[in-house]
């Protein structure tokens, strides 16, 4: 009887699913509990990683980059991390390890942590917490102290009317001028137009332009410099007045100085190196080159012309003489000497005198070159970048704003002397290429006729002065 009962029990398959389910419940509960605790631990790690990111970035902000005491930097990062790492579900708020590495003006911050995420099913895994860890690294360079040398083209080509509308108005305003100045888009500045005393019927074109409120390129350049040094400029740094330079100096907690020079056939000093605010008071002295009359840029002691040809743009000489006036740059740190930056604003075409014997002009310049006198010839060419290389070899940066040379296909002199350097477009021709080669990497900008020179110069300055922080990992 007993034997039969045992045999029936052994062969009976009823309710076997329930038995199997009961047997599998143990590993299922174990896996569910482990999954829940692991998911919670991953979420805590993501939140703690975000806290580490915030702490690392906080330690390389511009204001912190000027801080040299490592304990202060570490305390700042730790405080930011603690404020964001106070999360429910942790055994305790973790204390991060903050590593500060300074190399020159560059600073690298690493914030790492180890934390314990409290398990909801401690009995399943046999432990109360699940360990999580992570780190974040941020890197930034402190903004250096810098000296800015503005080198502005004041040659006759900068007397071009600023926009197409201004050009049209200028041509119309000069319709009654003498033949040599009639229907002209340039506001040439002549002290004795047509080699005679000025009169109501014999005025220089600059006088005509001013009487008709026509804006010239030199005016746009002047306004751009005002925005840099005088303003008004909307600065996010409260309590800061002045222009872009003062604003960026406050934002970066740096010291900037500025100098203003112009160039034509020579270098002209408007203001030597000083504060931007003081330099800004001399902006009104930026003036176009004055020539005595047609083909007479310079007089001799007797009032006669030294050279009987127009010229007046020697970019190479301007850069050469400015290079001689600039000291060797430093690293821009608080304990070192400032970095040096040249800001060149020009239309990129030289119009200068060279010796007939031993002088050199661009191989693509149109020959024969016009003679200035028995010993010199007039050379019109794009900038020879040799002087740029000399300046940059001293670790002086060059920022260039190219006010594009206007294409004038209806002008015979332009088509025979300049067009070969300015094709296929003024943005891509040899003139533009030479200036871009002269500029330090990333510090070249161009603006077409009628474009916003103030914005272009401001954007270029901000690019030089900006300091940024980035997460490395």
Q: What is the per-residue pLDDT across 380-411, written as a single tens digit (0 to 9) for each?
A: 999 999 999 999 999 999 999 999 888 888 77
Q: Are 269 and 261 in contact (CB under 8 A)?
A: yes
Burial of residue 451, with CB atoms counted within 10 A of its CB: 0-12 exposed, 13-18 middle, 19 or more buried: middle
Helices 244-252 & 453-465 angle (0-180, nearest 10): 20
Maximum Cα–Cα distance across the chain: 149
pLDDT at 84 over 70: yes
Which helix (H) or strand (E) segment holds residue 50: the answer is helix 16-58
Over residues 242-256, the pLDDT tens digits come to 888 998 888 777 889
Q: Where are the domains of the chain?
A: 36-141, 146-160+216-468
Query: What is the C-alpha separation between 167 and 183, in angstroms, rounded?
Result: 10
Over the stretch 112-130, which tens digit does the pLDDT of each residue have?
A: 999 888 877 665 556 777 7
Between 280 and 186, residue with greater pLDDT: 280
Cα(259)–Cα(237) distance, integer angstroms: 24
pTM for the full predicted model: 0.74
Give dist(CA 64, CA 108) in Å, integer.
Answer: 12
Highest averaged pLDDT of the listed ranges 50-59, 210-219, 460-469? 210-219
For the domain made up of 146-160+216-468, the CATH class stated in words is alpha beta
Q: Considering the chain, what is the average pLDDT of its residues?
A: 84
Mean per-residue pLDDT for 305-316? Answer: 86
> pLDDT tens digits for 129-142?
778 888 888 887 77
Best CA proximity match to 228, nearest among 402, 450, 459: 459
Read off the pLDDT of each residue in 210-231 and give the average, rounded to a whole number. 92
Closest CA to 248 of 13, 26, 16, 461: 461
Q: How far is CA 256 from the centre of its chain?
A: 15
Sign of CA dihedral 227, 232, 234, 238: positive
Handedness of CA 6, 10, 12, 17 (dihedral sign): positive
The helix (run of H) or strand (run of E) holding residue 262 is strand 256-263
List Cβ neighbours of 62 (8 Å cut-off, separation of 6 or more): 142, 143, 251, 252, 253, 467
Nearest to 148 by CA among 38, 279, 5, 311: 279
> Rounded mean pLDDT of 174-190?
86
d(CA 272, CA 278): 10
What is the DSSP track for 141-190?
EPPPPEEEEEEEE-SGGGGBBSSHHHHHHHHHHTTTS-GGGTT-SB---B
pLDDT class for 27, splitting at 50, 70, 90? low
User: What is the mean pLDDT of the segment spanning 185-199?
Assistant: 84
pLDDT at 472: 55
Q: What is the helix, strand, coil percentage profile of the chain, to 5?
A: 40, 25, 40
Name the residue with higher pLDDT: 85 or 6.
85
User: Percentage of residues in the chain with pLDDT exceeding 90?
Assistant: 33
The confidence band for 10, taking pLDDT boundaries of 50, 70 and 90, is: low
């Amino acid at each position: 009887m007993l034997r039969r009962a045992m045999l029936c029990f052994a062969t009976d398959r009823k309710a076997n699913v329930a038995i199997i389910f009961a047997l599998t419940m143990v590993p299922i509960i174990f896996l569910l509990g482990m999954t829940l605790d692991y998911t919670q631990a991953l979420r805590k790690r993501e939140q703690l990683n975000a806290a580490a990111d915030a702490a690392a970035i906080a330690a390389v902000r511009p204001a912190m980059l000027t801080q040299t005491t490592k304990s202060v930097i570490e305390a700042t990062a730790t405080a930011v991390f603690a404020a964001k790492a106070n999360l429910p579900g942790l055994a305790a708020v973790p204390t991060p390890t903050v590593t500060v590495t300074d190399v020159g003006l560059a600073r690298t911050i690493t914030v790492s942590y180890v934390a314990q995420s409290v398990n909801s099913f401690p009995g399943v895994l046999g432990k109360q917490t699940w360990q999580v860890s992570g780190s974040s690294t941020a890197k930034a360079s402190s903004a250096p102290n810098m000296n800015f040398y503005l080198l502005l083209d004041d040659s006759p080509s900068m007397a071009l009317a600023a926009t197409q509308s201004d050009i049209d108005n200028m041509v119309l305003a000069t319709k009654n001028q003498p033949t040599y100045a009639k229907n002209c888009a340039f506001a040439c500045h002549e002290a004795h137009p047509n080699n005679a005393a000025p009169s109501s019927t014999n005025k220089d074109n600059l006088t005509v332009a001013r009487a008709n409120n026509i804006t010239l390129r030199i005016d746009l350049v002047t306004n751009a410099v005002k925005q840099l040094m005088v303003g008004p400029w909307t600065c996010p740094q409260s309590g800061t007045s002045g222009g872009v330079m003062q604003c960026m100096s406050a934002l970066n907690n740096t010291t900037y100085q500025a100098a203003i020079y112009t160039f034509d056939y020579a270098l002209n000093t408007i203001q030597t190196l000083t504060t931007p605010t003081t330099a800004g008071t001399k902006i009104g002295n930026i003036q176009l080159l004055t020539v005595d009359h047609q083909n007479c840029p310079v007089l001799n002691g007797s009032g006669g012309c030294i050279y009987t040809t127009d010229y007046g743009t020697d970019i190479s000489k301007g850069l050469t003489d400015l290079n001689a006036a600039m000291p060797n740059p430093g690293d821009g740190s608080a304990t070192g000497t400032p970095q040096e930056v040249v800001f060149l604003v020009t239309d990129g075409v030289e119009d200068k005198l060279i010796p007939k014997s031993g002088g050199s002009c661009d191989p693509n310049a149109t020959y024969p070159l016009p003679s200035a006198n028995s010993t010199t010839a007039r050379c019109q060419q794009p900038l020879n970048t040799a002087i740029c290389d000399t300046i940059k070899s001293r670790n002086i940066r060059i920022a260039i704003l190219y006010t594009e040379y206007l294409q004038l296909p209806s002008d015979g002199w332009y088509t025979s002397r300049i067009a070969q350097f300015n094709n296929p477009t003024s943005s891509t021709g040899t003139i533009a290429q030479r200036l871009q080669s002269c500029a330090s990497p990333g510090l070249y900008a161009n603006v077409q006729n009628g474009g916003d020179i103030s914005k272009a110069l401001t954007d270029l300055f901000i690019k030089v002065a900006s300091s940024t922080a980035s997460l490395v990992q």
